[in-house]
Chain A
Amino acid sequence: MTQFRVAGAQYFGDAWNWVDLINIGLGYWNIYNQLYCGTLELTTKLVLIALIMTTLSKLFFYMRIVESFSYIVTMILSVFRDLTTFLAFYAILIVMFSLIFDVISRNPAGEYALIGPFAGNLFSTLRLSLGDFDFGVLAETDAKKGALDSDQHLLYWLVWLAMVIFSALIFLNFIIAEVSNSYSKINENISELVYQERAKLINEAEDVMSKKARETNKQRFPTFIITREQD
């Protein structure tokens, strides 16, 4: 609240402040849901999961206080930023290949029975791209349940081959290479990045101080600093 009062509309310019607001809002919503809607209701579970996720983000934020954690948090955030384009490309690849599998057949596996055939094929394609192969479609022999004929079996294998080459062999390795590249790039500047994170934290601590306090407190806001180096 103090930060909002001092910073005004600029408060909403910082993504971490949004995480704070969402975390507080979800916290109260969760209390309401737990008390009045029932602990096992879907909405209650969704809100609690979102609350846990935002709490994790807040913990990541506070982990930056400790220098050794700050390195890791900075790296994770930077790697995520660098990977956005790759992950978007990967998502498109998965959706398009799952559409191809939709054309061939729905996946009869029991674990997809309650989420619908589209989501079922989407998840089975994602699992396929990670090397988790499932050939339930080919195992079906009953024509009434959508068994494929021999030509369609061939078509399935061709699509499977293309999918494995594109996603598991090429794209997954691209992502690993990109993470490695991003990691080494950040590692070169890690010391500067950690100081920048510290500057952000100090700036945030200063945001909650009034202008008057900043002008009058000479201990915290000195006009100059003298440093001495000892051999």
Chain B
Amino acid sequence: MEEEDGFSLLNALANTTEGQLAIFETDVVRDLIQYKWNSYAARAHWLSGAIAVLYTASLALYVNDIYLMDEQFINGKRNNPEADARLLLL
């Protein structure tokens, strides 16, 4: 697991080609991935994932608010609803 010239074992595993996939059948590689995943990688990605879901939800909320709920028709023509700065900030 030592790092040499900026390349680690994980780096090599992440960049395996289709013909080298057999390496992932070995117990030692699976155990290594499982260990690293459980000890820190999962937590880091879950946190980013939760932020991404929140971001998507606020985007959906914004689209619904501006493009559907606030839709205005003046003399039969669709008009620009005002942007919601509070939601944009979120």
Contact = CB atoms under 8 A, between A and B. Distances in A.
Contacts of A48: 63
A65 B45 contact: yes
Contacts of B11: 203
A179 to B, nearest CB: 18
A65 B42 contact: yes
A201 B83 contact: no
Indicate the size class of the contact surface on chain B.
Answer: 35 or more
B74 interface: no
Contacts of A196: 13-14, 16, 21, 24
B85 interface: yes
Classify chain A: how many residues form its interface, as a range: 35 or more
Contacts, number: 106
Interface of A: 31, 34-35, 38-41, 48, 51-52, 55, 58-59, 62, 65, 189, 191-193, 195-196, 198-203, 205-206, 208, 211, 214-215, 219-223, 225, 227
Given A52-B63, A202-B14, 19 more contacts: A31-B88, A34-B88, A39-B81, A40-B81, A41-B80, A52-B59, A59-B56, A62-B52, A189-B21, A195-B33, A196-B13, A196-B21, A203-B11, A205-B45, A211-B3, A214-B8, A220-B40, A222-B1, A225-B32
In the A-B complex, the 6 residue pairs with the smallest Cβ-Cβ separation, listed nearest first, are: A62-B49, A192-B24, A34-B83, A203-B14, A199-B13, A195-B24
